Amino acid sequence: MIPNPTDEIRAIKHKLAAACDNDIHRIAEDARRRQRASGRQSVVVPQPTGENTTNKGLQPSGK
């Protein structure tokens, strides 16, 4: 039988989270550290400005 890839991914996710005591900030920092160490090029998404640009021009439906 072929193993379920979702189960494998979840097992890895739980192992990585446990190594960081399930602290989301430590998990994110560990992911950034591993990403930097990989030497692969990555895309940096700019921080949101607070302005919702995806729905410009749409009107609220409550009127």
Cβ-Cβ contacts under 8 Å for 5 (sequence gap 6 or more): none
Dihedral sign (CA 10, 13, 19, 23) = negative
Cβ-Cβ contacts under 8 Å for 26 (sequence gap 6 or more): 20
pLDDT for the residue 46: 86
- State the chain's mean pLDDT as an integer: 84
pTM given for the model? 0.57
pLDDT at residue 30 tops 90: yes
Q: What is the pLDDT of residues 38-53, one digit of tens each?
A: 999 888 888 887 766 6
55 — pLDDT class (breaks 50, 70, 90)? low
